[in-house]
Each structure stands twice: as structure tokens, then as C-alpha cells.
Amino acid sequence: MKHHNLFSHGRRILCDIVAMVALFLALGTLPGAVFGQAATGSAAMKIGIIGSGNIGSTVGTLWVKAGHQVLFSSRHPEELKSLVDGLGPLARAGTVSEALSFSNVVFIGVPYSAYPQLGTDYAKEFVGKIVLDAGNAVLARDGEIAKEARQNGVGLTSAKLLAGARIVRAFNTLNFRKVASLSNRPEGRIAIPMAGNDQEALKVASALVRDAGFDPVILGSLQRSKVFEQGGPLYGQEISAQEMRERLKTLP
């Protein structure tokens, strides 16, 4: 009788597990723990990081932890070994060319003075690619191209330099330390302002902003991204999505 009871109890547990997995599948949200991976709020993507310094490595790490495959690129990919080794099998290192060919989405985190050369060297590879542009045009560092970007808007200048890319401005308003410390903040998520001309690219980028632990706030076209450039009213703001939308109502 004891063996029969144990068998019946085990069968009930198995049935409960099967029912629970079936429920998650029906909802489309299977917990990452079932497969030993981090859960992700969007479909797992292949992301190429161009410029794996402070901001690139920080945001890329958040995406790896969310379950995305990330290729961190550099002119010296061998120097990224400790970074990718510490992140596990979803992370790898490579060249810029490899990052572009590997990815569904590209994140750019290099000094703005490097954008013209990127656009020249990889013109064909950027065409049709969703690009999250986190660059800031710093006059003292980036020279003449920074003057043009400040005058015409960084978003529109990036679209000109990376012709054919589906540019979304995002992640340029907070330094890497803030991004790391504010991700999934317990007392409430911080807003990341975004702008772009391609609706599908904005949708994909919004999901990735959420997976990094923030709330996306889409302001409009690339022209509108001027309000969160350096010196703009939304630059550096550590506020909620609701607070950001309220502030937007006061801006021209």
C-alpha cells in the first residue's frame, strides 16, 4: 500500500508539473528557470555591440543577462576575453565586421568622431540594420563632426553618416555607471527617451530597453531627439516614464 501511495503521489506531482508547463506555454511566458536561462521580455535576439567600452559593455551585459546573444566587438577583440568569459555562453567577442554580420540589432557606443569612418568602412552592412545609437557629439573630443551634429541634431547626422540604417536614438542620456545602478531599480523603473523614423525599429528597440531594465518613452522622429541630447531638457534625467511624459507636455 505504501508503494502504491508513493506512486500515486509522484504521479500527481508529475501531472502538476506538466499542467504548469502547459499553462506557461499557452501564455507564451515560459520561465527561464525551466531551461536554466534568464527570462527575457522579448524574443531572444542576436545583438552586435560596436564599441565595447563603458556604455557598450554595460548595456550588452544587461542584454546577456536577459537572455540575448551578444557579440561584443572591438579593434582588439582579444582584449574582451575577460568580459565575455565572465558572461557565459551567450556572449562572445569579435570584430566590427563580425558584429554586423552576426546581429539582428546593432548598438553603437563609440566616440562620435568614429561615426564617419564606420559609415564609410561598413556602408553596405549598415543598410537595413536596426541601430541603437547611443552616441553624444562632444565638441572638445569629436571635432568638426560634433559641430555638424550639434547644429543639425545628432539623430539626423547619424542617419546621414550611416545611410540606410534604421536609426533609433537611445541610451545616450545616462553614463554607464548610472545605467548599471538604475537598471530594474526596486523603487520603480527609470525612463529611457527614444526617437526614430522607423516604427518597426522603435518597437524592437523598445523591447530591448525593457529587457535592459528600463521603461522606453518614444518621443517621435529623429528630429525630436534634440530634446534629449547633451544640454537638452531631458538629458541626464533620472525620472519615471510617467514623469517624462508629463515633462514632454511642457516642451515646445
d(CA 207, CA 156): 23
pTM: 0.83
Nearest to 216 by CA among 240, 251, 250: 240
> Tell me, what DSSP letter sits at residue 114?
G
Average pLDDT, rounded, for the chain: 88
pLDDT of residue 244 exceeding 50, the answer is: yes
Work out the percent of the chain whose per-residue pLDDT is above 90: 82
- pLDDT given at position 41: 53
**Contact between 147 and 139 (Cβ < 8 Å):** yes
Q: What are phi and psi of 140, to 5 degrees?
A: -70, -25
- Over the stretch 91-114, which tens digit does the pLDDT of each residue have? 999 999 999 999 999 999 999 999
- Over the stretch 158-167, which tens digit does the pLDDT of each residue have? 999 999 999 9
Largest CA distance in the chain: 85
